[in-house]
Structure 1
């Protein structure tokens, strides 16, 4: 029996004498090549222990995302800033897009455990800022900080699973992770709405902090994955990280959000703010591409690898699907609230969809493990999403209450299946050394798509709503002032006399129909890009070199 040792970040997760891998062998990668030491594939019990804190963190990142979807209208009403809703939502995902591509390399250097601990602390700090915020801009800054932490949690959690299980089983564990994410998403929307109805929206941020602290403690004691390239100096490895690329991507997305959320909403489209922000956004995007191609030693998005049809198809499918799904996630609650539902009732109606996504991801992982195939599943998932979204486009103010339950669940089944199929597709064609960076790139495409999708949906909603309100109630006294109030605060709708209220509600419905149509178009593009992926048969047993792919 091997003598017991005190584990460190540089010691293996599993005792190399404790058992055998799935194919009856043990696996150990060469340290001389600067790769990770990996030993036996962990048992389910060992995986449960190693991922307890990881999954708890995932749950509350999911709780946060669904809470903010339900609470965005009440929060905007508190500060009279419904027109700035895209900022409240998108800053979280801009931070995700900037930080997630860096997480792979940073945690290769400093360790997955330290990265997760820092991410959880940052996430808690962001929620604390939101809970204490006395202005919408402080709240938006809090969402930015929380987005840095939440993005780190989401990315590094994926790396932990990739480090521990072979590619064929990864869809199953990805599905289990998505079950936890689905539980957080499903309960978060309802629980956040309930807290808003009976206490206030600030309680929704306060309550996350102790659970995130608990996740941090669990991670400290249970996550122990060896650091790659442990013989190299940290300083030399830090110089290889593409901070410049991440900065230019962050700048491009922020300027794009500034231009699209301001134009036709806060200022005219020909205002210098818009005319300056849009070109600068394009310049930073061009600079980002050039940096990735010509400058970065290890780019955050390896553009050269995107020439592979499978990698490009999987990334673009995540991009368009996230554009569509998250725009829907933040504007479906607006639809439910103009139907007269409270925030808690709205959150309750989102619960089945969240669990449907998680279950679909798990079932997809099982299917991939059983068949060794993912292509047909990926394409089918996009078609299912499109069918559900087409149903949502037909909504009106009198749509029966059961229909949003079913249609939202259908879209989430498609999205959940897509997540499992695309990550397995990328890992099936990626070399071991590129897996972390490609996983980061996939998450970056997802976060970038989310930002652009929510921004385009917000642009559509605000501009169509303004036009519809002027067409319907533009002849009332003080129309300009009243329309500004309506656009800034959803709750003021109910203060108007019935005849005017009906016109205002119809204006909102017209704006939402336009938003849903845009979202449907995004989903259609996801179908197209899903055909780019090539179907590769996955091995039925983990090879020695694949034990921890």
Structure 2
């Protein structure tokens, strides 16, 4: 929860800047590794196969190749090279082919990264899509709201303080939604409600501009965090309830894969959208002025350039940034709508309170 605040503080207050925010994680990781080695008791080996033989290296390679090629095309298009460039044109069909190959391979692999057959279960599929778009949206939100605040002159520390509203919302609803499901045994309506809450948060972001009161980003982040926190809990328990006990660990890992891919794609797609809109708006407003090309590139590459703008540029540049941010907020609204639809496709299964499960008491999805 305090990561954003700490990162902003070390950026503003130390000579190493943002690099220190990464460096301080090294001793924490090392201590954690030692604690895991000492305290975690590994269950006895239940298979004669070696650990390496049980790793789906082909599936891992296909996943990485698909993401790298797709992200390369998305991030380069319109920013580094034109959308008509062969690099961009080739990246999309190639990434689609890799994705299709990944699905084919996972459907026949003995120990796949993600159990493709389980995705035929309506609830599992709906939960994974909901997690995918929600994580895309939440990661984009936590990346671009601080950028919006810094564009308006807030320091990195001040932006980090405002970012606290998001994890507070996540914590409150992830716990409360779990308690509510424990009491009612229901999750379908709660899942839809969580996505609606996120939609309201995204809608609040859409109306941000250069004169928006400072409390509005707090409210938007709190709503987005609240919607996302409930979604995490609802989708996890819905997936567990929808499969046999023997498949619970596998499908839990699968949901994390969808979250990981969503977080990666979310920021990349949003950054490409933001940069393309910003570039177009700046050229429309200042393209005819002397030295415009160099100045526009400096603005796009360094937000600190806002404090060194030529005379008469500031108002137009800020408006260009607001237009670019609005494109990102519109993307969040679209993702929230997809999240609502996917949550509505889930089926209500029985939530079991113990590991002993009566299979005939659970509806099949």
**TM-score bucket (shorter structure):** over 0.9
What pairs with 1:334-373 in structure 2 (closer than 5 Å)?
A: 334-373=147-186
Q: Does 2:257 align with 1:440? A: no
Q: Does 2:317 align with 1:504? A: yes
How much does 1:214 deviate? 2.0
What pairs with 1:345-424 in structure 2 (closer than 5 Å)?
A: 345-424=158-237
Q: Does 2:220 align with 1:220? A: no
What residue in structure 2 maps to residue 79 of structure 1? none
CA contact (8 A) 1:314 1:533 kept: yes
Deviates more, 1:460-469 or 1:481-490: 481-490
What residue in structure 1 maps to residue 73 of structure 2? 259
Out of 201, 204, 207, which is 2:24 matched to?
Answer: 207
TM-score by length of 1: 0.63
How much does 1:315 deviate? 0.6
How much does 1:407 deviate? 1.2
Cα displacement string for residues 157-209 of structure 1 (whole angstroms, at most 9, x for unaligned residues): xxxxxxxxxxxxxxxxxxxxxxxxxxxxx201011100010111121112122
Q: Distance in 1 between matches of 2:252 and 2:2?
A: 27
Q: Does 2:103 align with 1:278? A: no
How much does 1:240 deviate? 4.3
Q: Does 2:241 align with 1:241? A: no
What residue in structure 2 maps to residue 470 of structure 1? 283
How much does 1:502 deviate? 1.3
Q: Distance in 1 between matches of 2:230 and 2:30?
A: 31
Out of 126, 129, 133, which is 1:320 matched to?
Answer: 133
Q: Distance in 2 between matches of 1:498 and 1:319?
A: 44
How much does 1:328 deviate? 1.3
CA contact (8 A) 1:241 1:297 kept: no
Deviates more, 1:326-335 or 1:489-498: 489-498
How much does 1:349 deviate? 0.4
TM-score by length of 2: 0.94
Cα displacement string for residues 193-244 of structure 1 (whole angstroms, at most 9, x for unaligned residues): 00010111121112122222222222222221414xx253233x64343221
What residue in structure 2 maps to residue 333 of structure 1? 146
Q: Distance in 1 between matches of 2:46 and 2:258?
A: 32
CA contact (8 A) 1:317 1:526 kept: yes
What residue in structure 2 maps to residue 191 of structure 1? 6
Q: Distance in 2 between matches of 1:238 and 1:211?
A: 28
Cα displacement string for residues 482-523 of structure 1 (whole angstroms, at most 9, x for unaligned residues): 111111111111101452011111101100001110111011
Q: Distance in 1 between matches of 2:46 and 2:32?
A: 30
Change (3 A) 1:238 1:492: same
How much does 1:542 deviate? 4.8
What residue in structure 2 maps to residue 519 of structure 1? 332
How much does 1:462 deviate? 0.8
What pairs with 1:477-492 in structure 2 (closer than 5 Å)?
A: 477-492=290-305
CA contact (8 A) 2:237 2:351 kept: no
What pairs with 1:15-164 in structure 2 (closer than 5 Å)?
A: none
How much does 1:291 deviate? 0.8
How much does 1:416 deviate? 0.1
SS at match of 2:347: coil
What residue in structure 1 maps to residue 105 of structure 2? 291
Q: Which runs of 5+ in 2 are unaligned?
A: 360-365
CA contact (8 A) 2:165 2:225 kept: no
Q: Distance in 1 between matches of 2:87 and 2:138?
A: 29
Change (3 A) 1:540 1:291: closer
SS at match of 1:533: coil
Cα displacement string for residues 91-124 of structure 1 (whole angstroms, at most 9, x for unaligned residues): xxxxxxxxxxxxxxxxxxxxxxxxxxxxxxxxxx
Q: Distance in 1 between matches of 2:335 and 2:324?
A: 17
Q: Distance in 2 between matches of 1:263 and 1:381?
A: 34
Cα displacement string for residues 133-154 of structure 1 (whole angstroms, at most 9, x for unaligned residues): xxxxxxxxxxxxxxxxxxxxxx
Q: Distance in 2 between matches of 1:310 and 1:247?
A: 28
Q: Which runs of 5+ in 1 are unaligned?
A: 1-185
How much does 1:327 deviate? 1.2
Deviates more, 1:240-249 or 1:510-519: 240-249
CA contact (8 A) 1:324 1:523 kept: yes
Aligned residue pair count: 357
Change (3 A) 1:445 1:477: same
